[in-house]
A and B are shown apart, each in its own frame.
Chain A
Amino acid sequence: MLTIRIIPCLDVRSGRVVKGVRFQNLRDMGDPATLAAAQEAAGADELVVLDITATDEARGTRLETVRSVRAAIGIPLTIGGGVRAAEDVESLLEAGADKVAVNTAAILDPALITALAARFGAQCVVASIDCRSDPAAASGFTVVSHAGKVNAGLDLAEWAARVEALGAGEIVLTSWNNDGTGGGYDLDAIRRVRARVNLPVIASGGAATAGHFIDAARAGADALLAATVFHERPETIGDTKRALAQAGVPIRL
């Protein structure tokens, strides 16, 4: 049976894992490769490395971090942050990434998703969608870009359906209302996207307790991403997976 994936996300800046509420007040959390290895050992199904300053500082993801994390883990590795063109993807794959997440660049140029999927395969292209609740949007959520700073003027459900049609292989859905709050995933946003696409959906933003993961799986998420809760204690990954299994969610233990 296909299992629900638990995916730690390492927010990396200048080669170090950092932690911050909505990317403010960043705190050093250690070496990415060391933390990644501990997370695989604790049961991580996959890993995401997000270079959280890449878009703003326009410098691309640090390939050295990718190489060191790749050498340390034997599970799938997705890299996000500042991916703008096929050349970025090529160098990331060469360094050891298996998938890339595109966000702002795809909003500015949706054809990028199609071009990347045609060249590297749909399984390589993860559409990263950041959303914020917005009563004026048809689905109740609007898409935001540039690390949450810009309202992209797109309805969440419409954009999700569009990235599927454009050829993405997966969606990472981050709620900017909930991210960093520890108040749980945005279940309504998950349901809205789930209702419109058949792609795997990775829920992101707000997870702190085992109950949050269980709720998101029941809302239709295929994979559950979290950062802070898995940085501080990688063992939490195993605890979370056991709690999910106990709740009847299919899990790889």
Chain B
Amino acid sequence: MTGRGPASQRVTIIETGVGNTASVVAAFARLGIAAERANGPASIRNASAVVLPGVGAFGPGLAALRGGGLDSAIIDRVRAGSPLLAICLGLQMLCASSDESPGATGLSVLPAAVARFGLPASLRLPHMGWNTVSGDGPIVRPGHAYFAHSFRVSTEGVEPPEGWSIATTEYGGGFIAAVERGPVVACQFHPELSGSWGLGLLARWARTAGLEATCTIPAGEAC
């Protein structure tokens, strides 16, 4: 699965130790884009396109990033506008804090607090399955995305940070489904598990790093 050739021709996925990085690798493989896994700060800084996948809990996830010296490499990519795709917990770790791990400090590039869904009893927890994404960013377009999470950033009282565009989803109130600013994209949903709609998103993001998908995506999704 590891890509051959120079790093400029592949996507670099941060290896977190837990979680479904195999699904992310497989999604890029379906697009004809090579992906490699890496966990060193230098490879994250020098990569042309980086995916921060995220499964697991907020505090331990951040501790793992800081332990590996990856926190500043990720923050620098966001500030510099270098291609970065953060998925699920990846988005949450870019925020300032989370109810999931009180006291733990996030990477704080997004000035937001992550909180547990406050739901009427009629709604299930976790929020698991396909829900509607509203938004019209260059990369995150409207459609159905696959979610699997219990914590989120509520849209209540949240102003989009300068220069970022926001996509939202409804589940017992609005929450942030995705934010994007140029080649930096963070999604609460899993594009790698969101069928052809998700592949379209991945292809548009990879293109910001000069990586062109070689496949044809069904269901009218533009590569």
Task: Give A residues with C-beta under 8 Å from B.
Answer: 1-5, 40-41, 45-46, 70-71, 74-77, 93-98, 119-124, 169-170, 198-200, 222-223, 252
Number of A-B contacts (CB under 8 A): 104
Contacts of B121 in A (CB 8 A): 198
Chain A's closest residue to B128 (CB) is: A200
Q: Is the CB of B148 within 8 A of A169?
A: yes
Q: Is the CB of B55 within 8 A of A76?
A: no
Contacts of A45 in B (CB 8 A): 129-130, 146
Task: Give B residues with C-beta under 8 Å from A.
Answer: 18-20, 22-23, 26-27, 29-30, 55-57, 121, 123-132, 144, 146, 148-150, 170-171, 190, 192-196, 198-199, 218
Interface-centre pick from B26, B29, B150, B196 (highest chain A CB count, 10 A): B26
Contacts of B148 in A (CB 8 A): 76, 98, 123, 169
Q: Is the CB of A70 within 8 A of B26?
A: yes
Contacts of B22 in A (CB 8 A): 70, 93-97
CB distance from B56 to the nearest CB of A (A): 5
With A74-B194, A123-B148, A169-B148 as given contacts, are A2 and B131 in contact (CB-CB < 8 Å)?
yes
Q: How far is the CA of A76 from the CA of B191 in the complex (A)?
A: 11
Which residue of the partner chain, among A74, A96, A98, A122, contacts B150 with CB atoms under 8 Å? A122
Interface-centre pick from A77, A170, A252 (highest chain B CB count, 10 A): A252
Chain B's closest residue to A119 (CB) is: B18
Chain A's closest residue to B89 (CB) is: A121
Q: How far is the CA of A76 from the CA of B146 in the complex (A)?
A: 8
Q: Is the CB of B129 within 8 A of A96?
A: no
With A76-B193, A121-B18 as given contacts, are A5 and B23 in contact (CB-CB < 8 Å)?
no
CB distance from A167 to the nearest CB of B (A): 11
Q: Is the CB of B18 within 8 A of A1?
A: no
CB distance from B50 to the nearest CB of A (A): 21
Contacts of B127 in A (CB 8 A): 2
Which residue of the partner chain, among A74, A120, A222, A252, contacts B19 with CB atoms under 8 Å? A120
CB distance from B4 to the nearest CB of A (A): 18
Chain A's closest residue to B171 (CB) is: A2
Contacts of B128 in A (CB 8 A): 123, 169-170, 200, 222
